[in-house]
Structure 1
């Protein structure tokens, strides 16, 4: 097949391009700019566009399909040419469904935890040499790509994102997969720029549950009240499997998971991650992995990239970075770190970076999110607010939203960097949370600073 990617440089898009190239398809692509690591990975396979920019001449009737990325605009000249010529146009999730119509589709959905749960499942299956197709939203240790597609594998495991499919398809991605086996981990209002009301956001998950094929199953976090309501109210003729956080304890900084064979040490920690583990266990059992084999494999799982990822550690200090940015994720991550290190000072630094986090109403949801930390910092760039064409946010608003009188708020990257590098990290944990890059903070330099102490 001959496939052209419009906006090939995105994280998801370039991984799909690499997967299809590996499968033997002829791949071309365009983008107005491509950053690392996408640039280098595409170049290594001969898929990097010779020049940046949009070229309608790349679109012709010899193409079997065009895959349209979210980065493109509805008036993209290549898209307009494809529409004019009648070339088949797919969004990213539409094409993944086309590739998996004859497979058993396992879809992991939820406002939080879906990348970690998908990563756990893939780790377990790989540990036991069970080959599956997959798409996951993070680069996993031991996996060459975030997307893998074959003709022969019976299962495909898909991370089910609720964000929009493409510039011309405003349906959430996970509405298009039609799962046979599904999981729903939690519902906490996110993407406020796309789903302006809470009920509008929750409705997307109702549609997801109803999209499960008849006779399929939903594994769901019964400890999340909204998830419980959505799943149990569904009239879809599917099997429903609730899960809860398993028993565990923390002893001398080590999390021990209670198993039928007794307490077992694991690398991940925090109630939210133990809940994720329980969901992954149910899904793996639905895919033919027995309980003993699950426990054996999960003991070797160290976590998904950017999800409570340890970047430095000494006898007296440790540094984690985490993708957490929404209120529920920030709260869960901060609580997890404090539970794991109750006798250390936890310094939690949150960068507000997303569209939602600068919305005055959404900001109120951060109340108490950093309370578990001994010291709390919020960093944001007023320039980011302007770029997103949002109403100005003041440090006073941030203080009021978090309801923490000792909260430190930084609005300049240089001042935030100086603060981080000026701290005494004896008997402490530094937790960095953001979906951005902390104003260009050099994490390798932070690692060097900690290890030099």
Structure 2
């Protein structure tokens, strides 16, 4: 096939382009800006556009498929040309479905935990040399790309994002995969710029359940009240398998998982991650991996990139970074680090970076999210608020939202970096939570702060 990508430089898009190139398809693409690592990885395969911009002349009648990324706009010149020529235009999730119609589709959905659970499943499969197709939202150890497509593999494991499919398809991505096996990890309001009310957001997960194939299966976290309600009220002809957090203990900063063979040390920690692990175990079981083989493999899982990732360690202190930005994930991650290292002082830093987190109407959802921290710090950029076209946020609004009188708020990246540099981190856990980088923080430099 000859496939053209409009906005090839995105994280998901460039990985799909690489996967199709590796599969032997003819791939071209355009974008108006591309940054590393996308730029470097596309260049290594000869897929980096010769120049940035949009070039309608790249679209010709012999193009078999056009894949449209979210970065493009509805009036994109290449998109208009593709429409004029009557070419087949896919959103990212639509194309993945087309590539997997004859496979068993395993879709991992939920407001949080999707990437970690998908990563766990893929780690187990890779450990046992079981070949599967996949799409996951983080770079994994032992995997070259975040997307892998073949003609021969029976299973495809897909991270089911609830965000929009493309500029011309406003359906959530996970509505388009039509899973044979699905998982729902949790429901906590997010993406307020797309789903303005909690009820509207929950409805997307109700629709997700209706897209499961007849006779399929849903694995669901029954500790989440909303998930439990949505699944148990669903009347479709599907099998329902609830799961809960397995038993575990923490000894001297080491998490031990209770298994049928006794206590087993694992690399990850936090109640939310143990809950994710149990969901992954159920999925792997339905994919033909028994419990013993699952536990053997999962004991070596170190986590997905940027998900409670250890970035520095010294004699008396540790530093982790995490992609957490939604209120529920911030609360769970902060509590997890405190529980793992109860004897250490916890300094938890959160960057408000997403549309939802910078929306004044959504801020109240963060109440109590940093309560487990001994010192709580919030950073946000007024410039980012302006770029996103949102209302100005005052420091007082942040303080009131988190409902913590000793909350420290920074709006200048230099001031935030100076704060970190001047802290005494003896016997301390430092937790940096963000989907950004605090206005340019060098995470490698954080190592020099620890003692």
SS at match of 1:379: strand
Do residues 189 (structure 1) and 226 (structure 2) align?
no
Map Cα deviations across residues 306-359 of structure 1 (whole Å, 9 max, x no partner): 000000111211110000001001000000000000000000000000111111
Q: Give secondary structure in 1 for the equivalent of 2:310.
A: strand
Residue 380 (structure 2) pairs with residue 384 (structure 1): no
Question: CA contact under 8 A between 2:39 and 2:48: conserved in structure 1?
Answer: yes
Aligned length: 451
Partner in structure 2 of residue 23 of structure 1:
23
Q: Does structure 1 residue 247 correspond to structure 2 residue 256?
A: no
User: TM-score of the superposition, structure 1-length normalised?
Assistant: 0.99
- Give the aligned partner of residue 57 of structure 2: 57
Provide the secondary structure at the position in 1 that maps to 2:152. Answer: coil
Say whether residues 1:172 and 2:177 are aligned partners.
Answer: no
1:347 aligned onto 2:347? yes
Alignment of 1:45-124 (within 5 A): 45-124=45-124
Q: What residue is the counterpart of 2:293 in the other structure?
A: 293
Look up the match of 1:156: 156
CA–CA distance in 2 between the matches of 1:19 and 1:390? Answer: 37
Q: Which runs of 5+ in 2 are unaligned?
A: none
Q: State the SS of the aligned residue for 1:357.
A: coil
Report how far residue 285 of structure 1 moved: 0.2
Structure-1 residue corresponding to 2:132: 132
| Length-normalised TM-score, structure 2 | 1.00
The answer as to whether partners of 2:220 and 2:231 remain within 8 angstroms in 1 is: yes
Q: Do the aligned residues in 1 keep the contact of 2:15 with 2:146 (CA within 8 Å)?
A: yes
2:358 alignment partner in structure 1: 358
CA distance in 1, matches of 2:116, 2:391: 34
Q: Deviations over 1:6-27 (max 9, x none)?
A: 0000000000000000000000
Secondary structure of 2:357's aligned partner: helix
How far apart, in 2, do the equivalents of 1:358 and 1:282 lie?
36
> Alpha carbon RMSD of aligned pairs, Å?
0.5
CA distance, structure 1, for counterparts of residue 311 and residue 448 of structure 2: 10
Q: Is the 8 A contact 2:420 2:449 kept in 1?
A: no
Offset from partner CA, 1:231-260 (integer Å, 9 cap, x none): 001111000000000000101111010001
Matched, 1:443 2:436: no
Q: In 1, distance between residues paired with 2:397 and 2:80?
A: 43
- Secondary structure in 1 matching 2:348: strand
**Counterpart position of 2:324:** 324
Distance, in Å, in 1 between the alignment partners of 2:328 and 2:283 is 24
Partner residue in 1 for 2:44: 44
Counterpart in the other structure of 1:262: 262
SS of the residue corresponding to residue 191 of structure 1 reads coil
Deviation at 1:448, TM superposition (A): 3.1
Shift of 1:449: 3.2
Q: Work out the CA distance in 2 between the residues paired with 1:163 and 1:358.
A: 17
Listed one character per residue, the Cα deviations across residues 276-303 of structure 1 (whole Å, up to 9, x for unaligned) are 0000000000000000000000100000
Please give the alpha-carbon distance, in whole angstroms, between the structure 2 residues aligned to 1:448 and 1:342.
23
Matched-pair contact (CA < 8 Å) for 2:425–2:449:
no
Q: Following the alignment from structure 2 to structure 1, what is the Cα–Cα distance between the partners of residues 360 and 52?
A: 37
Q: Distance in 1 between matches of 2:285 and 2:416?
A: 46
Q: Matches of 1:314 and 1:358 in 2, distance apart? A: 34
Give 4+ residue runs of structure 1 displaced > 2 Å after superposition: none
Query: What are the Cα deviations for residues 29-48 of structure 1, in whole angstroms up to 9, with x where unaligned?
Result: 00000000000000000000
